[in-house]
Structures are given as structure tokens and as C-alpha cells.
């Protein structure tokens, strides 16, 4: 009988590849790094994802395998585009892990996103084994994600293994109180994960633009703030669910007709308690809400954070996100930050080193928490060498 933790049950790990000395291994990594254009030369702006792949790369090469990495970068339209070339990544990988090569952007071929069987066969040609370490892409049924395990001995890399084990623990028996902080703009994107979290979390803090649909469900006026009228009834159901839902009581709002974003300065900004005036747009939680949210976080046993509390790219509306980020960094609880804008905020505020686990996947982490599985994990469990349970 397997002794693996439940989230990893049936998932082949690196040790399940057997002897790999002298074999060619295709490593699907997440090398989707930000690039900056410096006088026509594309330069890596942040190499976090490259370094995150190194433990798996080193495990394989230390055992004598020849490793070739493949990845997507950005969203090219199924054809070569120099703006999305992985050439800068290949050069950096060669410096960090000599002898390891990187293929060109998988999405330069439409077969990748279409999960084309012929593309899969071309991709794996000449390889003896496959490793998936690209957690951030594991919610995609793309060729490089779900195709190779059909044909090759396969395994989850160390990063993927850690992501699944850490996030899976949240769905089982996390240290309590378990506090989930969910923010961001679109409530429709996160209703599924909110329902899933409501079954396991003690308290869910809701901020960001999505909070206004919940406030509308309580009968509050939200002015011109982002509000999805079609989702109000679903938000009302979550409000009456098993978890305690904390919503902002005060809002930092911008007067009608004014713009916001990086570098914007026009318009009056006001802290509003209760209903927002007509035409005003809520863009951050207010100081009272920030204090309440932060106190809840500091008293938690486990904290999961996914999504900012407001438009933090505009410095007039960053205080709420900064306060919550500081509380997540200072809490004695197990702290998990789920990729995307939350990870960027943590990095921008210089708090990354104080977080227990920083997930590399925004959308993937949400889908895993919602469904308890991902297309990539299902594909790996069906690989010819997967442990049978």
C-alpha cells in the first residue's frame, strides 16, 4: 500500500523513473519569465521561475540524465515571434545548469495549445522519459502537459510535488483557524474556489473589485464600482454558507469620471463608510477594514492569500494590500501565497522571504483548490510507470 500523502497518491515522482543515467529526459518547466526590451534586445526581468526549476534539473543531471527543457512564454499566435523567444532563457539556463538546453517557445506551434497528437509525437521524439515541473501550466490541457505521459515513463518534478503537497494539505486538515484571503477584480473567476474554500476554511476575507458584488448582495450601494449583477445571487449563497465571510466596512474611493492606475493622480480620493455615492468607484479597502482583516490574519493557524485588496498598482490605493501583505508576513501561521498579483505585491513590498510558501501558479492553484485535481496530474497518474493504488 502507498504511504504517500493523499494529494500525491498515485502520482509518479522522480524516484519512479528508475535508472536514468545516460537517458534523455524531456522536462516541461515553467520558464514563462517576464522579458524587457532593452534597445531591441530582450532581457530577463525576473529569473525566479528559472531558478525554481533548478532542483529538478540538478536531480536529473546528477544522476547522469541528459535534460532538455521545454516551456511556453507569453501568448504568441501560434507562430514564431521574437518578442516571445526563449533564447534569453536558454542562455541563462546554460549558465546556471551547464549542458541543459531549452527548446524554443512551444506556443510557436499551434499544436501546443490545440493538444495535437502529431505535435506530441514530434515533441517526445528521441526522449526516454518525461518530467512535468510546470505547476503554473498544469490546469491547461495542452500538448506538452497531458501528451507525453501517454507514451513515456513520467514523473512530477520537485516543484510540482511541493505545490501539490502544500495546497493539498489545505483541503484536508490545515492548522486552525484557517483563514483564506481572496481578492482580485472578477468575482466570476473565483466563485468556484470560494465555494470550495467555504467547506474547509473557518473565515474567508473578500477584498478587491470582487468584494463589491458581495456588498451588493448585502443590499449596499456600490456606486460605480465593479459589480457583476449576474452573480449577486451566488454571492448571497456563499454569504450564508458554512464559513464566516468578512467584507470591507469602509472603502477608499475615487470620484466620478477620473482614471486610476500606475502614475495616475487626478480626482478626489475619499474614505467612505457604508454606501458609496453614485458615480464613485471603490478601489481599495479602508483603514478600518485593513485593521480588521490584519487582526484576523495574525490570529490564524493557516493563511492562504490569492488576490490583492485593491488597485495597488496605483499608490493611492495600495495601503489595503500592503497592510494585508504585512499581516501575512508577520503571522505565526503557515502562510501560503497563491501566485499572480498577490505574489507580485509580496515581492514589491519586499516581504517574499517572510512567506512560508509562494506558489508559482495563480490560476493553477485556484483550480486545484476548487477541484482537488488538474489535467496534468490526471495525465501523470495514467503514465505507464505510475504507482498503482
Q: Which helix (H) or strand (E) holds 142?
A: none
Of these residues, 23, 28, 49, 231, which one is catalytic? 49
Q: Find out whether 73 and 107 touch, Cβ atoms under 8 Å.
A: yes
Distance CA 129, CA 149 (A): 9
Of these residues, 186, 220, 270, 316, which one is catalytic? 186
Q: Which residues contact 240 (CB under 8 A, 6 or more apart)?
A: none
| CA contacts within 13 A on the Cβ side of 25 | 34
Is position 301 annotated as part of the catalytic site? no
Which one, of 137, 45, 42, lies nearest residue 81 by Cα? Answer: 42
Supply 217's cell numbers.
Answer: 448582495
Q: Find out whether 285 and 251 touch, Cβ atoms under 8 Å.
A: yes
Is position 340 annotated as part of the catalytic site? yes
Is position 49 annotated as part of the catalytic site? yes
Of these residues, 340, 361, 362, 381, which one is catalytic? 340
Distance CA 47, CA 96 (A): 11
Of these residues, 74, 78, 267, 363, which one is catalytic? 363
Is position 192 annotated as part of the catalytic site? no
Q: Which residues contact 320 (CB under 8 A, 6 or more apart)?
A: 207, 252, 284, 285, 286, 289, 290, 293, 309, 310, 312
Catalytic (active-site) positions: 49, 186, 340, 363
Amino acid at each position: 500500500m502507498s504511504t504517500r500523502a493523499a494529494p500525491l497518491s498515485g502520482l509518479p515522482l522522480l524516484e519512479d523513473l528508475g535508472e536514468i543515467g545516460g537517458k534523455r529526459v524531456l522536462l516541461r518547466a515553467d520558464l514563462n519569465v517576464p522579458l524587457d526590451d532593452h534597445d531591441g534586445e530582450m532581457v530577463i526581468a525576473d529569473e525566479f521561475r528559472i531558478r525554481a526549476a533548478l532542483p529538478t534539473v540538478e536531480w536529473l543531471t546528477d544522476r547522469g540524465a541528459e535534460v532538455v527543457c521545454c516551456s511556453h512564454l507569453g501568448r504568441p499566435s501560434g507562430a514564431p515571434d521574437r518578442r516571445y523567444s526563449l533564447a534569453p532563457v536558454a542562455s541563462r539556463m546554460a549558465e546556471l545548469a551547464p549542458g541543459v538546453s531549452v527548446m524554443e517557445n512551444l506556443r510557436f506551434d499551434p499544436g501546443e495549445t490545440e493538444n495535437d497528437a502529431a505535435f506530441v509525437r514530434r515533441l517526445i521524439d528521441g526522449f526516454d522519459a518525461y518530467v512535468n515541473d510546470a505547476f503554473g501550466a498544469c490546469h491547461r490541457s495542452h500538448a506538452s502537459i497531458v501528451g507525453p505521459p501517454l507514451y513515456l515513463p513520467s514523473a512530477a518534478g520537485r516543484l510540482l510535488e511541493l505545490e501539490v503537497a502544500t495546497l493539498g494539505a489545505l483541503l484536508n486538515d490545515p492548522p486552525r483557524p484557517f483563514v483564506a484571503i481572496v481578492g482580485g477584480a472578477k468575482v466570476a473567476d473565483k466563485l468556484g474556489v470560494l465555494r470550495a474554500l467555504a467547506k474547509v476554511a473557518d473565515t474567508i476575507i473578500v477584498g478587491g473589485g470582487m468584494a463589491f458584488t458581495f456588498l451588493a448582495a448585502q443590499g449596499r450601494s456600490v456606486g460605480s464600482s465593479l459589480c457583476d449583477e449576474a452573480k449577486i445571487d451566488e454571492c448571497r449563497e456563499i454569504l450564508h454558507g458554512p464559513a464566516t465571510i468578512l467584507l470591507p466596512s469602509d472603502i477608499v474611493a475615487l470620484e466620478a469620471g477620473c482614471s486610476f492606475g500606475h502614475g495616475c493622480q487626478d480626482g478626489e480620493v475619499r474614505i467612505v463608510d457604508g454606501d458609496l455615492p453614485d458615480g464613485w468607484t471603490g478601489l481599495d479597502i479602508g483603514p478600518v477594514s485593513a485593521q480588521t482583516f490584519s487582526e484576523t490574519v495574525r490570529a490564524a493557524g493557516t493563511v492562504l492569500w490569492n488576490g490583492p485588496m485593491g488597485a495597488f498598482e496605483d499608490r493611492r490605493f495600495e495601503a489595503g494590500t500592503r497592510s494585508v501583505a504585512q499581516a501575512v508576513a508577520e503571522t505565526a501561521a503557515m502562510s501560503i501565497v497563491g501566485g499572480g498579483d498577490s505574489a507580485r505585491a509580496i515581492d514589491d513590498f519586499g516581504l517574499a522571504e517572510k512567506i512560508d510558501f509562494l506558489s508559482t501558479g495563480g490560476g493553477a492553484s485556484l483550480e486545484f483548490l476548487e477541484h482537488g485535481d488538474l489535467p496534468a496530474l490526471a495525465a501523470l497518474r495514467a503514465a505507464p510507470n505510475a504507482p498503482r493504488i
